[in-house]
Every structure is written in C-alpha cells, then in structure tokens.
Amino acid sequence: MNLKELLNNVEYRTLRGNDQLDIREVQYDSREVKKGDVFVCIQGYVTDGHKYIDSACKNGASAIVLSEDVKHVPECTIIKVKDTRKALAVMASNYYGNPSKKMKVIGITGTNGKTTSAFMIKSILETAGYKVGLIGTISNYIGNKKIPSHRTTPESLELQKLFGKMADESVDCCVMETSSHSLYLDRTYGIKFSQAVFTNLTRDHLDFHKTFENYYKAKLILFQNTLNSVVNMDDKYGEKIYRDAPGTKVTYAVDREADVRGSGLNVHSRGINFNISYEGKTESVNLGIPGKYNAMNALGSAAACLCEGIDLRTVKKGLESMEAVPGRCEIVTRGYDLGYEVVVDFAHTPDGLQNILKTAREFTKGRLICVFGCGGDRDNTKRPIMGKIGTELSDFAVITSDNPRTEEPMSIIDEIVSGVEKHNYTVVENRREAIKKAMEMAEKGDVVVVAGKGHESYQILKDKTIHFDEREVVADIIRELTMNN
C-alpha cells in the first residue's frame, strides 16, 4: 500500500523523504521488520520504540513513524505524528481495509463479567441467525473457529488484522472485551461501537492506572465512541457512566428500575432462574450458570441484543442454549460421584472473589472451602482485602500461590494473611498441593471453590511458565484419591 494512503486520517509531517513509497507491511516491533516495511515507534510498558529505530532500519524499514525528536535516524523516510499509538491504530485499520466498518462491533467493559457477557451476546446473536466473531480473554472466534488469544484486547495492529479475517469470512457482528489497558493505550482507537456495555467497576489494575479515578476514566473512553451505551444501574459507577456518557443509553438492573429489568431470581447448584422484562414483555430464563452476578451479565447481554432489534423470545433461547464459559463458575466435577463439588473460577479481584463465594454459598449444603491466592507484579493493595473476604465468606480457606511472576510466593501470601482476622485457614504454597488439601478435606455436601486462574492453562513462575490447567489438576487428584481409597 502507498504510504500516503496508509496515513489517511492521520495528521503528520514528512521530515525526510516522501510519502509516495510503496509499503509492504506495518510493524511496531523492530524484530518483525523486513525490507519495505514501515516501523511505528510506540511506547510499551517497559521500553520505547524510538530506541529501536536503528534496528528497524537495519532490518530494512523504508519509513519510520515517530513522535519524539531523535538525534540520528538512518537514511529512510521519516514521518512525525503527535501520537504514534493513535497513528498505529489508524494505519492498521487502513492497511486491512477498515474492516471494523464492515460489521457491527459490540464492546464490553467492566472489572468483572466481560468474558461471560461476550459469550452470552455471541450465543444470542447466533440464535438470531448472525455470523459472529468474538475477541476476548479466553480465545478469539470467527463463527465456530477458535483462534488463540494472548491478551484480553490485542494491540491495534493485531486487532485490525483479526477484524480483517472476520470481514473476509462475512462476519455480521463482533463481540469484543475491551480492557481498561486497551482503552487507555488506544488499541481500540477509531473503532465506532454499535453498543458499549458496562458491567461493573471494582478495585483492580491500580498497579497500572495508579488511582481509581484513572481506572474509571479509562473505562469511560469506550462510551465516548459508541452509538448506544448499555449501563448496569445496580452498580454505583453505572450511575456515573450514565451521567458522563454522551448519546443514547439503555439501562439494566435487578434492584432498581431500569429499561431491562430482572426479577424472581432463584439460584440452584446448576444455574439460576429469573425473569427478564422489557417494554411490557417478560420471559422466564433458565440460565445454566449459577449466581446473581451471572443474571446481571445476562441482563446486560440481553439489553445489548434488544437494542440491536432482536426480540425477547430469541434472547431467552440464546441465553438458555449457551454452554458453560470456561473457568467462569465452572463445575469441574460433573460426571464424578464424589458427594462434593469443585468449582473453578477466574475470580482474582476482591469483588470477583466475593461474588463467587456468595454464589457458591447459595448451593452449598455442607461446608464451603476456598482455595485462592493473588498474582505477583500486580496491585498489592488488594491482597489483604482478598484475605479477609476469602476467610470471612468460606468455612475454611487454603491460601496458596497464584501466578507469582517475579515475586516470592510466600511474600505475596504473607500480605494476603495480613488481612485475615479469623483462624479458619491454612497456607499451602504449592497450588496443586493446596487444591489437593482442600479436596482431601471435602465431605458429602461440601463445595470447593478454586479461585483466581479459571480458564488459564499455565502458571507463571519467576523463571519459567509451566503447564497448569486446574480442570486437569482436579481430574488427576480425583484419580489419586480414588486409588488411595
């Protein structure tokens, strides 16, 4: 593509060379640059792309797009822009033919519930006859085709490439988890969302955003570029989103009046029954995932689809036909006659842990046993809070390691324990042994909740990443315990 065409809708100055070059590909990683590429210098978490201009040129870059003043740049075309992240997003969209404009894009943001809501919306849209793409934490999808996901929301270049593949396969709608990181870092810049769904806002990612107000402002970005906002009015920050977001809004709630209202909630061990009411019509839904918070996710998902013109009966069918979402309140002991259940959940925030434990309590006949930890190199202020929640809301807790990353696991555990006021816990640093300890304790009627990693199939240690899928771990432990008995 011609460089000038690639820079369409980007404000720029040509400092050297000309903008009539033919460009092979767009790159922001100097290691990926080949002859004829354009290299865009963006700032990452730990380094700055401007430092790798020489490397990009040695690898054959024909043009460099930068925002900083650089003393020496090898012989090539130099383009200066105000913001290279925004420039990359626009250039990537141009390169792949502006693919997001060829489909409706529904964005979901919030601390918890993004993944479950994305799967719910996908199921409803497919029930209505649409071909659907999904971009999210667990995996990306084009229809039924599964594509590995490496982060909740990809960098803009990979994101536009994915949109391009969806457009090539005639996707009608794309459902997309939009993280606060991606919004703040302009990965979604330039995308016009058909619907923007707000689930909730609780403490998380303060290691990155520093303050809760910054975290909120990052989430708000999504609602400033959407045709319609779908807002949870049972969440106090939903009220703030409703006030601050421009344009049209549709609300949903259980405990307050709203456009889409949930009522008659009845939680059981295999799901939840509730009613959805909208514009004078009501449907009863039997959702295959337990928990009030999943009913809330369903209401937000329903609201987004109702705003797309899908009728309430189809919404009901779509929600009821959805299979369990991996690692989200997932009962991994189905098919085993143990007398107790083991639930795996991605809950890694105070609010998430509270939600899953309160939900599990509603269908626990015996004791509620919780296995949890906290990730390393992340917001450490939530650790004592989670320690208190994990021990207060369960009958017994096994505090363990999560993804320690570069931190010492026992140092993280000590911070968790600092918030504990009860004596109903033990510490087992090795996560597999912690899960085994909980299962050895479990008796008939008990429920074991393993919280923190959910769908993840790995554990990140200081010097390596190991395979660790908790569904496999539980199955192995069941075999061990059965053999020993």
> Annotated binding site for ATP, which residues?
110-116
Cβ-contact 459, 403 below 8 angstroms: yes
Q: Which residue has the tokens 């299979």?
A: 323
- From the annotation, which residues make up the binding site for meso-2,6-diaminopimelate? 378, 402-405, 452, 456
329's tokens: 């309140």
Among 457, 448, 362, 445, which residue's Cα sits nearest to residue 403? 457
The DSSP bridge partners found for residue 260 are 252, 278
Contacts with 210 (C-beta within 8 Å, 6 or more apart), sequence order: none
Contact between 53 and 37 under an 8 Å Cβ cutoff? The reply is: no
Nearest to 388 by CA among 417, 413, 414: 417
**Known binding-site residue numbers:** 30, 110-116, 152-153, 179, 187, 378, 402-405, 452, 456
Residues 6+ apart with CB under 8 A from 172: 103, 104, 125, 130, 131, 132
How many Å apart are CA 458 and CA 116, to the nearest integer?
20
Residue 168 one-letter amino acid:
D
Distances (CA, A) of 218 to 138, 369, 483: 22, 36, 52
**What is the spatial distance between Cα 328 and Cα 451, in angstroms, rounded to a whole number?**
10
| Of 475, 197, 438, the residue nearest 335 (C-alpha) | 475
Separation of alpha carbons 304 and 110, rounded Å: 15
By CB atoms closer than 10 A (0-12, 13-18, 19+), residue 391 is buried
**For residue 399, what are the β-bridge partners?**
372, 427
